[in-house]
Structure 1
Amino acid sequence: MSAAGRTTTTVQRRALAVGALALALVTGLAGCSGSDGAEEGTKGAPGDAGGKKGPAAAPQVAPRLIGDGSTAFTGAQPHQPVWQRLKPGETPPQFVVFSWDGAGEDSQKLFSHFRSVGKKYDAKMTYFLSGVYLLPEDKRKLYDPPQHSAGRSDIGFNDVEGIRDTVRELRGAWLEGNEVGTHFNGHFCGADGGVGTWSVEEWKSEISQAKSFVKNWKSNAGLRAEQPLPFDYDKELVGARTPCLEGRKNFVRAAAELGFRYDTSGVNDQIWPKKDSGLWDLSMQLVPVPGRAFQTLSMDYNFLVNQSPGTTQGDPSQHQYWGDQMRDGLVQAFERSYRGNRAPLIIGNHFESWNGGTYMRAIEETIATVCVQKDVECVSFRQLADWLDAQDPEVIAKMRTLKVGEAPQGGWSTFLAAQPPAAQPGAAQPGRPAGAPAAPVAKG
């Protein structure tokens, strides 16, 4: 299937799936379908509040081709922050993660467009690649999906030019400091062999195949003269989002055994994350829907199903309003974290022109609004996981006690102030010499 044709077919299939996702119409929990100067109120220079030094210079390493040359080891990834542990009383940065499910470059050229947007606003992002977007239609039988016949995919495959274009964008995105994760392969949802029914071993097979399509795209597409992807995907791949946010339980078990570092397939409130089976749980979040009495998931698809149920081509007279509603909801979610508990804001999207492209406009305007703010870090999931791992676990646990939008009482300087060391046995305490027995405690 051509890259352009893939978009239309995927949209049609996703639209048909809306009826099965009735819960999304209420709460939006279904969740998925196949460089400026600093001024007042804007982000300051590297090393300002946020516990970050300037990006580390990646050492120059002679590329070492891997396998058939589809990928290569080229050294440390460029443009990565060097995080520092929060100092006592320091305000944590406000992290925002923009991510893309099934990332591929097709006739809409949205991948390349948002790479440009990211560079303009100093926003690093995570691109969740669907492995079948690097597999040509005539090689479809190489994909043997769990619980389905070989060559089956609910989002189709690609053509040679689509693969060439997608690899070009992936290469550039990684060299700019962005992350390449995975959205797996065939995007199977629902009860009939959907990912929610897969075992741990079936998830391992799906992950292995997703890696294989990235590691062998040159051979599979006959593009041997193209430049390799500049990373070792076995090491680069540390996180994912499952199709339709289904199958998370067994996926996390499989991912933990395979050394993944995070998952973003769950649903949560805007609070600080914790680990689940050794992986950071960086779940999607519930955010306001301005003018409505409920929240929805922080994803373009979920605003879509609440605004134009059953169709991706709703009333054109509503497109501007719907896009503004999504943008304003995301900005409201940002503000309540930024001025409250500073919990990371997690946002998910698709390279789709649903409802006239209004959600792409909403995302671009959100990036332009939030990523330039002081103490704000627009990062990839991997970069967020790096920061979390650099912190004192007790500090993360304390920040988790803050509710959605709750600012710490007394401010961060008090909330995260250094705690006095616990008295050691035999140490001198006020009013008694070292070694003297402690005064008895009165019992009521």
Structure 2
Amino acid sequence: MAPVVDGCSSPNPDAGANKQRVENVQARPKLIGDGSTAHSGAQPHQPKSPERLEPGQAPPQFVVFSWDGAGEVGNGLFPRFLQLARDHGAAMTFFLSGVYLLPESQKHLYEPPNNPQGASDIGYLSDDHIKETLRYVREAWLDGHEIGTHFNGHFCSGRGAVRHWSPQEWQSEIDQVMDFVTKWRTHTGFTDLEPLPFDYRQELVGSRTPCLLGQRNLLPTARELGWRYDASSPGGVQMWPKKKMGLWNFPLQQIPFPGHSFEVLSMDYNILANQSKNSTKAPPVNYPGWRQQATDAYISGFRRAYETNRAPFFVGNHFEQWNGGIYMDAVEEAIKHIANEQNRDVHLVSFRQFTDWIDAQDPEVLRKLQRIPVGQRPAGGWKSYLTAA
């Protein structure tokens, strides 16, 4: 079955990228299990330990771009955005689908809850594409990005949809994610690839569910596993996040949609749904205008947060070529625009890095931040508002 795409900086990235990527990584990684993964030391290209805001200090503007599925299917999008991140000193989160590391010949090993053995609504990758995905997931981690999970079969409809799964069924799905990521060498038989340079049981601290469904029953399981956040909520607005059932809740957010009185969710699929409905190949005459509209939506969302309450800005994407690739172009232009503001207290980070920062803050300061409405500046300015905290 063919796969279906579901709904830190180097001064000279070409010449010295490989050398810089492995800086601070052990020369001889300690293999784990069958050698699919390895202990490689501290992850390179991480920010310094976060500090609490000083009294009266304005919070930085954090921006998180994340990718659902994170499979490389021959369209060059994974390496394109890794290079873009290097060029602009950005970190991102890649929510890897576990079945993207499982060959179709081994699909009988997948037993999805409430679905037939081997079923997957996003299919399976070819051997060549599994190899490319492994290559770029490895590269992403060495570049400082986070590897989260998008789970496995991406079931969005019918009785087997993830919205109906129990906490125990989510545990089964997560166990299988772990199996596919940490035993890819056994399942594929590949001997010509380096191991993934991390212990996934330690690396994995957050997720986004398929189609943003099923969070309610996932969270108890995620909490038991020691995960720190979940990014599956579809109903968010641009306000400072709160915890939900013990985990940070990082939702996709409603952002301005140029030319409309309503707002749009901060994800490529949702922008598409408001432009071409169910079509991913609409008439090309529409593409230039839609591309600009998508770009302006992302930039408007960023600017509204940056100029008002400084709520973190969360954007979700897929490696897709819908409507001629206009949404990938829009994301690239938005990243470039936002990166130009980085000398103004703007940080392009992963969800894990943002979680580290928010966990380090004074709870009373966070409560004050969480009270500032969408698009509103703090009463009396930052210095006055947060000095009182």
* TM-score, normalized by the shorter chain, greater than 0.5: yes
- One-letter code of the match for 1:366? A
Listed one character per residue, the Cα deviations across residues 102-145 of structure 1 (whole Å, up to 9, x for unaligned) are 00111101001100011111110000100010000100001000
Q: Equivalents in 2 of 1:394, 1:113: separation in Å?
A: 41
2:259 aligned residue:
291
Q: 1:412 aligns with which of 370, 382, 386?
A: 382
1:99 aligned residue:
66
Q: 2:94 aligns with which of 127, 147, 160?
A: 127
The answer to whether residue 355 in structure 2 is matched with residue 385 in structure 1 is yes
Listed one character per residue, the Cα deviations across residues 8-61 of structure 1 (whole Å, up to 9, x for unaligned) are xx25xxxxxxxxxxxxxxxxxxxx61x599xxxxxxxxxxxxxxxxxxx84747
Aligned 8 A contact 2:25 2:40 in 1: no
Shift in Å at residue 418 of structure 1? 5.2
- One-letter code of the match for 2:373? K
Q: Equivalents in 1 of 2:199, 2:374: separation in Å?
A: 38
Aligned 8 A contact 2:31 2:38 in 1: yes
Q: Equivalents in 2 of 1:157, 1:395: separation in Å?
A: 46
Aligned residue for 1:81, secondary structure, equals coil
Q: How does 1:311-350 map to 2 (within 5 A)?
A: 311-350=279-318
Shift in Å at residue 386 of structure 1? 0.5
Q: Equivalents in 1 of 2:192, 2:245: separation in Å?
A: 42
Q: Equivalents in 1 of 2:30, 2:388: separation in Å?
A: 47
- One-letter code of the match for 1:170? V
Q: Equivalents in 2 of 1:134, 1:124: separation in Å?
A: 23
Instruction: Calculate the TM-score normalised by the size of structure 1.
Output: 0.82
Q: More displaced, 242-251 or 405-414?
A: 405-414
Closer/same/farther in 2, CA of residues 296 and 272 from structure 1, 3 Å limit: same
Shift in Å at residue 372 of structure 1? 2.3
Give the ranges of 4+ consecutive aligned residues of structure 1 lying more than 6 Å apart after TM superposition: none
Q: 1:87 aligns with which of 43, 51, 54?
A: 54
- One-letter code of the match for 2:39? F
Listed one character per residue, the Cα deviations across residues 277-313 of structure 1 (whole Å, up to 9, x for unaligned) are 1111011101111001111110000011110012100
Q: Equivalents in 2 of 1:148, 1:361: separation in Å?
A: 36
- One-letter code of the match for 2:316? G
1:260 aligned residue:
227
2:146 aligned residue:
179
Listed one character per residue, the Cα deviations across residues 47-80 of structure 1 (whole Å, up to 9, x for unaligned) are xxxxxxxxxx847474110000000011111111
Q: Equivalents in 1 of 2:163, 2:387: separation in Å?
A: 44
Shift in Å at residue 158 of structure 1? 1.6
Aligned 8 A contact 1:58 1:79 in 2: no
Listed one character per residue, the Cα deviations across residues 132-163 of structure 1 (whole Å, up to 9, x for unaligned) are 10000100001000001111101111222111
Instruction: Calculate the TM-score normalised by the size of structure 2.
Output: 0.93
- One-letter code of the match for 2:146? E
Shift in Å at residue 192 of structure 1? 2.3
Aligned residue for 1:311, secondary structure, equals coil
Shift in Å at residue 224 of structure 1? 2.5
Aligned 8 A contact 1:61 1:75 in 2: no
Q: How does 1:215-230 map to 2 (within 5 A)?
A: 215-230=182-197
2:35 aligned residue:
69
Gaps of 5+ in 1: 12-31, 38-56, 420-444
2:217 aligned residue:
250
Shift in Å at residue 233 of structure 1? 0.2
- One-letter code of the match for 1:385? T
Q: Equivalents in 2 of 1:212, 1:65: separation in Å?
A: 16
The answer to whether residue 300 in structure 2 is matched with residue 354 in structure 1 is no
Listed one character per residue, the Cα deviations across residues 187-239 of structure 1 (whole Å, up to 9, x for unaligned) are 00023210000000000000110111000111111112311000000000100
Larger radius of gyration: 1
2:113 aligned residue:
146
Q: Equivalents in 1 of 2:109, 2:46: separation in Å?
A: 35
Aligned residue for 2:253, secondary structure, equals strand
2:366 aligned residue:
396
Shift in Å at residue 317 of structure 1? 0.6
Q: Equivalents in 2 of 1:364, 1:358: separation in Å?
A: 10
Q: Equivalents in 2 of 1:60, 1:398: separation in Å?
A: 42
